[in-house]
């Protein structure tokens, strides 16, 4: 078959499926390159990153199976990059500004345009969570009251021009982090992954021809739109409402209400967040990009068969979030926790609302928190630890991780234990990696028994993680479901709330869900994460009659 006839051939079902996997494989390979090239445990081990491919207009064409809160919001970052920078061949634009397409400051998005024969054929992008981006406390997840306190805010700027690193931009970026070497390694790993993705997309377009490749992307988007409309058509038309709360904002505002009305009809959905709390002083405010990501995640999860994740499936879904609320915060609101905590509660609210439309499919609430732990300080490493050092060396360290919890049970299954659910899709940090790179010792890492809610199907159990600090550090906890509990469904019981404790000598101190404090050598942090809610009424246990003694 000649190139001309190959380009002209229409996409049948098989050809479209193959094309979808070819695009998705580009995003997956970018992720592998980023993971293997990065420096920080947060990216290498936890895999806190996401990769995607976009068409020539900047619309999402394919993405890897990475992190929902990243991928649903990354299209806004790509739009912002396109609007602010020309993106010539060999350029890479980076940004993290939540008010210019980003989510929260630690998530740095990198975008590159792909050109073939002098013609722009698409974009590749990735987003990675950097374990420190400056701000009030190490780990850049502070209990801030405005975004200026949360870290270095970066509008779309060109990090790579014509294939060459812009040294002044890189120096500016590294001057605003506590761990410059680690940030350099992670950021350049993002650039390397984009180069690989751009090369792969250019190969695909050169092989198929520009017209066929662009036609394939459009056909995939149309196909995904049809699948989403078919999914929505299965739902009984009507309006479904629900609400839930975050425990607090970390600075005294409690609780923080999130409300949603989901309107279903004619193969379309409209989600209205009117009635949600006004934006708060603390950092649990979500920008609109995060709210969109949570909505898109829920509706794609409703489909009975996988829907290729691209711009098409988003078209039948409209989202309304009043500006100035906790789900559409205005500048300069603090937003570090909106990405990780409020996104989870939005999912809980939407699933609770949709349970009335699909009672036989919607599960109970999962853990409902990413259980964020961040800490950092200065560590005097021995010569054996610091390669090439002649004597003890003071090393700045900063670390961030999220902890798993219990999944909500469903109509046909028990909830999984010790998993990252909904808006997060990361892994745990292995004990070996944690202890090798940081001044901590893992004292305990175990399931939290009986933390899942009882029911016909029991909710999944959370975990218990105990870290002993071997050096002084500033510790920040950003967690939720420490007061409210993950709700059960169809008569199932709620999961246990989480619990944070600090063991200092013989004294055990209970910590709130959101706190920043100094810790010293020998202090032990104990985090017990929430379990998932149970589904269905628990079966009554039959009590055996006790025989009287003879």
Confidence at residue 265, expressed as pLDDT on a 0 to 100 scale: 96
Domain boundary among 226, 253, 279: 226
Residue 195 lies in a domain: yes
Please, is 9 exposed, middle or buried when counting C-beta atoms within 10 Å of its C-beta (0-12, 13-18, 19+)? exposed
* HSE toward the beta carbon, residue 104, CA cutoff 13 A: 33
User: Is residue 545 pLDDT above 80, yes or no?
Assistant: no
User: pLDDT confidence of 544, banded at 50, 70, 90?
Assistant: very low
Confidence at residue 382, expressed as pLDDT on a 0 to 100 scale: 65
Confidence at residue 394, expressed as pLDDT on a 0 to 100 scale: 81
What is the residue-averaged pLDDT of the chain? 93
Tokens of residue 487, six digits: 């709700």
Residue 419 DSSP class:
B
Confidence at residue 225, expressed as pLDDT on a 0 to 100 scale: 97
CA distance linking residue 447 with residue 465, whole number of Å? 9
User: Is residue 57 pLDDT above 70, yes or no?
Assistant: yes
Rounded mean pLDDT, 24-32: 96
Does residue 422 come out as left (phi exceeding 0), alpha (psi in the -120 to 50 range) or beta? left
Measure CA of the first residue to CA of the last residue in the chain; give whole Å.
92
Provide the domain limits for residue 67.
Answer: 3-226
Task: Mark whether 60 and 208 lie in a shared domain.
Answer: yes
Confidence at residue 1, expressed as pLDDT on a 0 to 100 scale: 41
Domain boundary among 162, 191, 226: 226
User: Is residue 58 pLDDT above 90, yes or no?
Assistant: yes
E-assigned strand segments in 45-139: 49-54, 60-63, 92-95, 107-116, 119-129
Confidence at residue 425, expressed as pLDDT on a 0 to 100 scale: 84
In the three-class reduction of DSSP (H, G, I as helix; E, B as strand; rest coil), residue 469 is classed as: strand
Number of structural domains in the chain: 2
Q: Which residues of 400-420 are buried (b: 16+ CB within 10 A; e: fewer)?
A: bbbbbbbbbbbbeebbbbbbb
Interval 98-155: pLDDT, tens? 998 889 999 999 999 999 999 999 999 999 999 999 999 999 999 999 999 999 999 9
Residue 504 lies in a domain: yes
Interval 180-221: pLDDT, tens? 999 999 999 999 999 999 999 999 999 999 999 999 999 999
CA distance linking residue 143 with residue 281, whole number of Å? 10
Residue 491 lies in a domain: yes
User: Is residue 36 pLDDT above 50, yes or no?
Assistant: yes
Residue 276 lies in a domain: no
Rounded mean pLDDT, 303-317: 94
When comparing pLDDT for 478 and 538, which is higher? 478
Confidence at residue 549, expressed as pLDDT on a 0 to 100 scale: 42
Rounded mean pLDDT, 225-245: 97
Number of helices (H) and strands (E) in the chain: give both, helices first.
13, 20
Interior CA angle at 226 toward 225 and 229, to 5°? 85
Domain boundary among 192, 208, 226: 226
CB 297 within 8 A of CB 314: no
In the three-class reduction of DSSP (H, G, I as helix; E, B as strand; rest coil), residue 92 is classed as: strand
Residue 185 lies in a domain: yes
Confidence at residue 541, expressed as pLDDT on a 0 to 100 scale: 54
Rounded mean pLDDT, 39-57: 94
Residue 119 lies in a domain: yes
Residue 357 lies in a domain: no
Rounded mean pLDDT, 468-491: 97
Interval 385-440: pLDDT, tens? 555 545 557 889 999 999 999 999 999 999 999 999 999 888 899 999 999 999 99
CA distance linking residue 347 with residue 351, whole number of Å? 6
User: pLDDT confidence of 384, banded at 50, 70, 90?
Assistant: low
Residue 264 lies in a domain: no
Residue 192 DSSP class:
H
pTM score of the predicted model: 0.93
Rounded mean pLDDT, 73-102: 93
Confidence at residue 11, expressed as pLDDT on a 0 to 100 scale: 86
Q: Comparing C-alpha atoms, which of 429, 447, 449 is closest to residue 438?
A: 429
Confidence at residue 550, expressed as pLDDT on a 0 to 100 scale: 39
3-state SS of 280-305? CCCCCCCCHHHHHHHHHHHHHHCCCC
User: pLDDT confidence of 261, banded at 50, 70, 90?
Assistant: very high
């Amino acid at each position: 078959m000649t190139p001309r006839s190959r380009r002209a051939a229409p996409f049948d079902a098989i050809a479209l499926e193959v094309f979808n996997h070819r695009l998705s494989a580009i995003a997956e390979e970018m992720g592998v390159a980023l993971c293997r090239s990065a420096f920080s445990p947060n990216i290498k081990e936890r895999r806190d990153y996401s990769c995607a491919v976009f068409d020539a207009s900047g619309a999402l064409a394919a993405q890897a199976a990475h992190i929902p809160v990243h991928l649903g919001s990354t299209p806004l970052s790509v739009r912002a990059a396109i609007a602010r920078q020309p993106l010539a061949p060999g350029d890479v634009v980076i940004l993290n500004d939540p008010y210019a397409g980003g989510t929260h400051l630690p998530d740095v998005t990198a975008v590159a345009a792909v050109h073939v024969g002098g013609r722009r054929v698409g974009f590749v992008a990735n987003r990675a969570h950097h374990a420190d981006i400056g701000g009030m406390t190490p780990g850049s997840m502070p209990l801030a009251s405005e975004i200026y306190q949360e870290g270095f805010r970066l509008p779309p700027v060109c990090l790579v021009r014509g294939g060459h690193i812009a040294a002044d931009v890189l120096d500016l970026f590294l001057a605003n982090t506590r761990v410059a070497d680690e940030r350099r390694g992670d950021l350049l790993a993002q650039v390397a992954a984009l180069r690989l993705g751009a090369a792969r997309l250019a190969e695909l377009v050169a092989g198929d021809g520009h017209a066929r490749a662009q036609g394939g992307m459009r056909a995939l988007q149309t196909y995904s739109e049809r699948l989403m409309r078919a999914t929505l058509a299965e739902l009984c038309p009507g309006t479904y409402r629900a609400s839930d709360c975050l425990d607090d904002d970390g600075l005294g505002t409690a609780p923080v209400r999130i409300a949603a009305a989901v309107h279903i009809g004619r193969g379309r959905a409209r989600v209205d967040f009117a009635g949600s709390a006004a934006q708060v002083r603390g950092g649990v405010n979500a920008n609109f990009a995060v709210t969109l990501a949570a909505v898109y995640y829920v509706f794609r999860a409703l489909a009975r068969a996988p829907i290729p994740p691209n711009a098409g499936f988003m078209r039948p879904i409209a989202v309304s979030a009043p500006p100035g609320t906790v789900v559409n915060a205005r500048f300069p609101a603090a937003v570090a926790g909106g990405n990780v905590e409020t996104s989870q509660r939005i999912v809980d609210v939407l699933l609770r609302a949709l349970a009335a439309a699909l009672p036989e499919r919607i599960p109970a609430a999962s853990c409902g928190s990413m259980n964020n732990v961040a800490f950092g300080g200065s560590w005097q490493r021995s010569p054996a630890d610091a390669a090439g050092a002649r004597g003890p060396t003071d090393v700045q360290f900063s670390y961030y991780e999220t902890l798993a919890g219990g999944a909500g049970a469903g109509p046909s299954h028990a909830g999984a234990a010790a998993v990252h659910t909904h808006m997060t899709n990361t892994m745990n940090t292995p004990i070996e990696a944690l202890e090798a790179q940081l001044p901590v010792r893992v004292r305990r890492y175990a399931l939290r028994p009986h933390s899942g809610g009882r029911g016909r199907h029991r909710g999944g159990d959370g975990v218990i993680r105990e870290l002993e600090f071997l050096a002084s550090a500033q510790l920040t906890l950003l967690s939720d479901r420490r007061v409210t509990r993950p709700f059960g469904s169809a008569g199932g019981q709620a999961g246990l709330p989480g619990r944070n404790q600090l063991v200092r000598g013989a004294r055990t101190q209970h910590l709130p869900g959101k706190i920043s404090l100094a810790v010293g050598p020998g202090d032990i942090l104990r985090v017990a994460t929430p379990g998932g809610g149970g589904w269905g009424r628990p079966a009554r246990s039959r009590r055996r009659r006790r025989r009287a003694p003879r």
